[in-house]
Amino acid sequence: MLSLYIHTPFCVRKCPYCGFYSTLYSEQRAEDYVAALRNEALGYRSDFSRRLFSTVYIGGGTPTVLSNEQSARVMRLIKDCFNVTEDAEFTVEANPHSAAQEGLSQWQRLGVNRLSLGIQSFSDRVLQKLGRLHTADQAVDAFRSARSAGFTNIGIDLIYGAPGQTMAQWGESLAAATRLTPEHISLYSLSLDEGSAFKRKADSGTYALPDDELVIGMYEHAVSTLFDAGYARYEISNFALPGFECRHNMNYWERGEYLGLGPGASSYVAGKRFDNIPDHEEYARRLARGQSAIVDCEEVTAEQAARERLLLGLRTSRGVDLRRFHDEQGNNSFRRLQASLPALSDAGLIRIIDGRMRLTDRGALLCNEVLTRLAV
């Protein structure tokens, strides 16, 4: 499967936990970006003229800070340069503070059929600690605006393990989320991303890391609350009502191909992984001069591919096909892997049924430990 990702690197303010490449929005920066994006897309048009894109994801950053005119131009360049299937999943990321109904209605009219809302919490205290610009009430309003705009497939993101966050606050956020019945919920354990303000505070010893047991308890509480509300966990951090799994992300976990446009975007096409320069000014300059925005490119070896398939597949509820791993990696690698499985199985972290290896609930919680103990 082939996916298209468009990185929109603008935000109204930088959140203190965020390590994604983004810069502050200004109309001029966005103008330069949209012009460069069009040049980049035109450069790929002939190479991809015979290929069909099954999912499109406009992420960021905050794509919904673009003006209506700019977002219309982004949608036009996608249609002009790429073949997107009739039934493609087409997602745009939005933040509650920039999710006015008029703008959302326009994205919807232009063909976007899935919205990913960065709500993060329904507790004003937690939102403040996370440096977010919206309140819990605005999050609910944004969700309702999205429904009124016609979105029938909405995902929301929630963060746990935030500074000072209590189990009670987390429980209230989960309850508020399930009351809205979004089709999809992603849970993120707050991590200290390189380059973020929280990471700098942690390095200088002024950031109090949350207690591990509390964070594990929050995940367990979320799993049982979401199961009770009818959501299935199809990946460690992702839950969906039946039929609403995110196809775009599934393509990443299944190691499908994707083309990424925009500053800092990554691609994986024809066995090669390549990254665009994570600098909006240099990105625009290069494309204006007719140069490529790619700064890194590596050929993924068959061995790397099989290892990635194992590590990514294990995160999903479908798990890993051990026979396929054997066929791709050969006897030696398979024997090494096999030798590491009994201890993980005895510890209740994995189970193997019908030749597929999957994480147990406990294994999902301790996923990083499982991945380091797998001999691959």
Q: Where does this chain bind ligand SF4 (CB under 6 A)?
A: 11, 14-15, 18, 20, 22, 60-62, 95, 118
- Which residue carries 């249609």 as its tokens? 79
Backbone angles phi, psi at 99, to 5 degrees: -120, 55
What angle (nearest 5°) sits at the alpha carbon of residue 164, between those of residues 163 and 166?
120
Q: Tell me the closest approach of the beta carbon of residue 163 to ligand SF4, in angstroms.
A: 15
Q: Tell me the closest approach of the beta carbon of residue 91 to ligand SF4, in angstroms.
A: 15
Q: Which is nearer to ligand SF4, 15 or 75 (CB)?
A: 15
307 with 59: CB under 8 angstroms? no
Taking the C-alpha atoms of residue 37 and residue 261, their distance in angstroms, rounded to an integer, is 7
Q: Indicate the burial class of 302 (C-beta count within 10 angstroms; 0-12, 13-18, 19 or more).
A: exposed
Q: Tell me the closest approach of the beta carbon of residue 60 to ligand SF4, in angstroms.
A: 5
Q: Which is nearer to ligand SF4, 133 or 347 (CB)?
A: 133
Taking the C-alpha atoms of residue 262 and residue 260, their distance in angstroms, rounded to an integer, is 7
Q: Which is nearer to ligand SF4, 9 or 363 (CB)?
A: 9
Q: Tell me the closest approach of the beta carbon of residue 14 to ligand SF4, in angstroms.
A: 5
Q: Tell me the closest approach of the beta carbon of residue 92 to ligand SF4, in angstroms.
A: 13
Q: Tell me the closest approach of the beta carbon of residue 18 to ligand SF4, in angstroms.
A: 3
Q: Which is nearer to ligand SF4, 11 or 177 (CB)?
A: 11
Q: Which is nearer to ligand SF4, 161 or 363 (CB)?
A: 161
Backbone angles phi, psi at 125, to 5 degrees: -65, -45
Q: Tell me the closest approach of the beta carbon of residue 95 to ligand SF4, in angstroms.
A: 5
Q: Which is nearer to ligand SF4, 119 or 174 (CB)?
A: 119
Q: Indicate the burial class of 87 (C-beta count within 10 angstroms; 0-12, 13-18, 19 or more).
A: exposed
Q: Which is nearer to ligand SF4, 15 or 158 (CB)?
A: 15
Q: Which is nearer to ligand SF4, 14 or 273 (CB)?
A: 14
Q: Bridge-partner residues for 8, per DSSP? A: 60
Q: Tell me the closest approach of the beta carbon of residue 20 to ligand SF4, in angstroms.
A: 5
Strand order in the sheet with 356-359: 320-321, 356-359, 350-353
Taking the C-alpha atoms of residue 305 and residue 327, their distance in angstroms, rounded to an integer, is 13
92 with 61: CB under 8 angstroms? no
Taking the C-alpha atoms of residue 115 and residue 143, their distance in angstroms, rounded to an integer, is 10
